[in-house]
Structures are given as C-alpha cells and as structure tokens.
Structure 1
C-alpha cells in the first residue's frame, strides 16, 4: 500500500491479522451502531426519560398558552 502523504503510515488503523480483509464502510457503521446501542443500554443517562418528557410537555404547553392568549 502506498501513502497519500509522505511520512504517514500506509494503514492508519495499524496492521491487520493475517487473512483479515479490510472492513467496508457499511461494516464499520454497523459496528459503531452496535457500540452506541450497547453503551445506551448501560443506563448512564443523567436525566431520566420521564423528566425530559415532562419538561418538553411543559414547554409545549406554555408555548401553546402564549399563542392562544395573545
């Protein structure tokens, strides 16, 4: 493999094990989505979902109230 920039390694992800083909864009995206879903399942949210829904409802209710009373 050749590098497009002098002084840069040919493969930025490091050497691959023998016989492993380079991953395509779809495979990398699929792995990233799996990692994100797994991280979301650990439940480290700072604000509970019900509280965010309540805040959204209050915001929308206040906005509608302002529109109606003007």
Structure 2
C-alpha cells in the first residue's frame, strides 16, 4: 500500500473562504465604529472569576 498524498482544495475554494472572512472582519469593524460592539461572554466570565477569586484571596489571607 502506498501513502496517498492529502487532497488539496482548489485555489478558488480558499479564495472564497478568505473573501468571506475579510467581509466578516470588515462588518465587525464597521459595527464597532458605530458603537455596536459587544464583549464576548467568555471575557465576562473570566473577569467575574478573577474578581471572585481576588475577593476570596483577600478574605483568606488577610
């Protein structure tokens, strides 16, 4: 059995992906400039965990 070379996608498929990705980024930048930006949920969760952990550390060590 010989090893098969991985199949490559045609260039036009990759170009389509890049064009869609660039359009999404442009749309997001435009939304942010209009003030329609949102903080991702995971960022809020991390901030909450840090605040609670900091408060707990203050209560335990001081």
Which bracket does the TM-score occupy, shorter chain normalised? 0.3 to 0.5
Which structure features the higher share of helix residues?
A: 2
Give TM-score, length-normalised by structure 2: 0.41
Q: Which has the larger radius of gyration?
A: 1
Q: Which has the higher contact order (CA 8 A, sep 6+)?
A: 1
Give TM-score, length-normalised by structure 1: 0.37
